[in-house]
Structure formats: C-alpha cells, structure tokens
Chains A and B, each alone.
Chain A
C-alpha cells in the first residue's frame, strides 16, 4: 500500500536550536496515529512542517504521490491535508457558518454557494454547533471554539487531519465525547488522523499506533501497549 503521508529525514532548526533532528514518519490511509512526547519534544514543530506552515530545514515530505516539500500551506490544504491549531484560531469577527465557508469556497470554487452552505451546516451539526451557525466566533467558549476548529477542517473532507491537542481543557465526560467524535471521523468519513495529545488514556484508547518524539528525534513507535511499557518512553517523561 502506498503511504498517505511520508516524511523522510526531516530537520528543522530555529537559530541554534534543533527542533526536529532527522524525523521519519509514515502514515497509511485510514490510520489513527498518536504523536506523543514530553514538552519541547518537537511535536508542534513537526505539525507545522507537515502542514507547510513552516518549511523544513532539510528533508522531504510526500503526500500521496506528490512531493509537497516547500509548498505554501494553502496548496497543501487544497490537496487534502488539514490541521487544527493547539491554540484555537477562529475568525473571531465572522459567524460560525462563515468560518466554515472559508475553507469550502477555496476547496470547491466551482460549487454553488447554496450547496456549500448546506455542507457547512452539516459540518457544524456534526460537531454540535448547529445552534451557533449565526453566532460570531468571538461569542463562543473554549470548547465551542475547538469544535468550530474541527468543523472547519472536516467540512472540506480532508484525506489527512492533523489534530493538535484538541482535548486540552475538557472535563472527563467531554473527553469521552470528543474521542468518540474523532473515531467517527475515521469510520464515517474515512479521514486519516495524526493526533498530538497529552491525555494519555484518551489517545491510547483511540490510536492504532503511537509515535514518540523526544528532543526532536523519534524515540520509538509501536502499538499503544508496547509504547507505554517501554522503559525509554517512561524515562523520557519521568527521567531516571
């Protein structure tokens, strides 16, 4: 099977700091892969490089059959690679519906606006924001903003979704709901997911495979059980 995404030997430094130090990562279609690691391990930097928000210092990234290394992020997005932001970035002065429409009009420029609005409403109701369609995003609370973030990306039916700590700030009941929603993204919409998360219970239960980053390098990868029991992982998190 050809991988959906394959990043090879990715380096990224900021001045003298090596944020990514030769990372390889490969995602197959339909997988849910967890990306974990202690603070400063380079998880968000890897996301930014994969979503083309910043270019890698060296290395290559292939998405399906296309080499997307160095592409601008809007082209990567139109190809079907979506991402959410760790700190949500809604368009505050626009309504929720308009927020979702922005992605749709750029992914389907030839489709009629009426049809796109139907899709936008579907996406908002999928995340449970149907009541808030005409509310400006500035009027949403944190959880609703996170939901909006997911609605925006899901509306355009990406092939790959990069989720950056979408569960942060949620209580345990909300976490359960959110995890089942993320599972639905795969089963109902066929979206492959790469997911950064600090809530271990949640990510271990939902992910097929876990990749552990530590100090800009891939420490290991494997099934959730092997990862949590690996002494190197425990050491990376807790020290000796």
Chain B
C-alpha cells in the first residue's frame, strides 16, 4: 500500500468516525472517543520514539500536566475550559522544553531514566497535593460543551486528532523530519554532516510534549473527572504498547495500534487484572512474529 492509499484509507476512517454517532450507541462512542485520545498520544509519542529514537517515559505525565493545568484553572479561577486547554497545552510544551534542555544532551538511556523519574515525581505530587488536585479522589471539572453530548465530544476529539496527525505528518515530511531520521539512524554521522543533534532532539521532544498536553487537556474535560490515572505509568506503557504493536516509526502504526488495543481491552476487561497478562501475550506474539508492528507485518506481506 503506497503512501497515497494510506492517507486515503485514513481519511475514509476519519469520515467513518465522524458519522459514527448515527450507528453507534453511547458506550461504543465512548470507546471511539477514548481511542482518539490514544491516537493523539501514540502519534505524538511516535514522533520522539519512532522518528528520533529517544524513548521518553514522560508522555503520560505531559498529558497529565495538560489536564491538571486546564482543570485547576477552570475550577479555581473559573477560566473557560477552551482557554484552559490552550494554557494546559502551552504548560506541557514549556515543561517539555525544560526537561528536554536538561536531559537531551545525554540522550539514550539517560533520557529514559530521567523521564521515568519525572513521571513518578509528578504522579506523587498530584496524588499528595490534595488541596489543589483533590488527589486520588479526582478533580471534578466543567465540560467543554454547554450541553453534554457524546457526538459533540467525538467531533472535538476527532478534530484534535486530525490536527495532531497533520502536525506529525508535516513534520516528518519536511526538512525537520529528515533531520529526525538522520539523528535516529546515526547521531555521529548526522553531526558530521551539520545536524545540530541536541537541537533536533529538544525540538522533537517539545512538540511531542505539547501535543500530549493538548490530548490530556481535552480528555480531562471530556471525562469531567481528572485523576492521577492520566499521568500514570500504566497509561505510559499502554501508549508505548499501542505505538509498538501498531508499528513504531510509521505514520499509520500508532493510529491502528490505538484503536486495536483500546477495543481489545474492552473485550478482555471482564477478566479483571488478567487483562495485563493478555496484553503481555499480545506484545510477546508481536515481538516474535511481527517486530515491526501491524503496519510492518502488512507491508511485508504486500511486498512478498
């Protein structure tokens, strides 16, 4: 399947999502909305992990920053959620930039460890700052819409996911994207050809954090209740699995992975804690038989 067909398939799928309120009930619409949240998360994480080779564990944390900044602004200061979401997005971007400048010079495993630490710290702070965040009880926040409607939220999330995908697509198909891939392939060679490796990494990390903040902010105002579950490592690893199982470093992979895993998780939810085991088995099977993810396996079949 060439690039044009892929985009056409994606557009058709988007259209299908847009008209899905006609034929899906509220429960299924909820699944689509949550999947769209994961599409934003996985696609923006893919920008850093798949295209520049930097494995960050703070992506869910940045979504949490987006959600909590927007939520707290709305609850404590009465700021309208739409403006709050923009502030949350900006806050996530600024945190991303600061964390990026701090640790991206080191890169590699050090970035992973630092972001893991950052993620845990943020989780602990949110859980314990009860006065501000209401801790594990969760922060009740106003919705984005005057009148609650699943279809309305679906369209908002769909539009936002489209924005995220357009940003990611344009980046990876520009000069910046070429630099991203050069850095991922071989940093030393890239630097010898004039690529400012640290600058490129910080750029990817900041944009990616910004998009996670947007996803988190919107998602919080959809759920109407923000809990420390959003910036948790569970979420982080779910986003990671979606990207890897869908196909890391490919444009469509994270989109496919998000929907497949979200729908799958609904089916195996009945088994309670065993759903983690089920995910583990899926990940193992993928690693053994399709290390390039669903997209990679598909590509291999069609090229044979």
Give chain A's interface residues, CB within 8 Å of chain B: 51, 53, 72-74, 77-78, 82-83, 85, 89-94, 98, 101-103, 105-107, 109, 113, 152-153, 156
Contacts and interface: CB of A to CB of B under 8 A. Distances in A.
A94 B189 contact: no
B181 interface: yes
A70 to B, nearest CB: 15
Q: Which 9 A-B pairs have the closest CB atoms?
A: A106-B194, A91-B185, A103-B193, A89-B189, A77-B194, A102-B182, A105-B175, A73-B191, A78-B194
Given A53-B191, A103-B193, 7 more contacts: A53-B192, A90-B189, A91-B181, A91-B189, A98-B178, A106-B194, A152-B193
A74 B189 contact: no
Contacts, number: 71
Interface string B229-246: 000000000000000000
B25 interface: no
B156 interface: no
A94 B182 contact: yes
B175 A74 contact: no
A93 B175 CA distance: 16
B101 interface: no
B190 interface: yes
Nearest to A73: B191
B266 interface: no
B162 interface: no
Contact of A92 (B175, B185, B191, B197): B185
Q: Say whether chain B's binding surface is mostly helix, strand, loop, or mixed.
A: helix
9 contacts: A74-B197, A77-B192, A77-B193, A85-B192, A89-B188, A89-B189, A102-B195, A106-B194, A153-B193
Nearest to A99: B182
Contacts of A94: 181-182, 185
A139 B160 CA distance: 39
A89 B186 contact: yes
A106 B185 contact: no
B185 A73 contact: no
Interface residues of B, number: 18
B115 interface: no
A103 B179 CA distance: 9
Contact of A103 (B181, B186, B194): B194
B194 A93 contact: no
Contact of A93 (B185, B188, B192): B185
A77 B197 CA distance: 13
B185 A74 contact: no
B191 A74 contact: yes
B46 to A, nearest CB: 15
B191 A91 contact: no
A107 B194 contact: yes
A92 B185 CA distance: 7
Contact of B193 (A72, A92, A113, A156): A156
Nearest to B196: A74
A107 B196 CA distance: 11
Contacts of A107: 194
A92 B53 CA distance: 14
A74 B194 contact: yes
B181 A77 contact: no
B274 to A, nearest CB: 37
Interface in B186-224: 186, 188-197
A153 B194 CA distance: 10
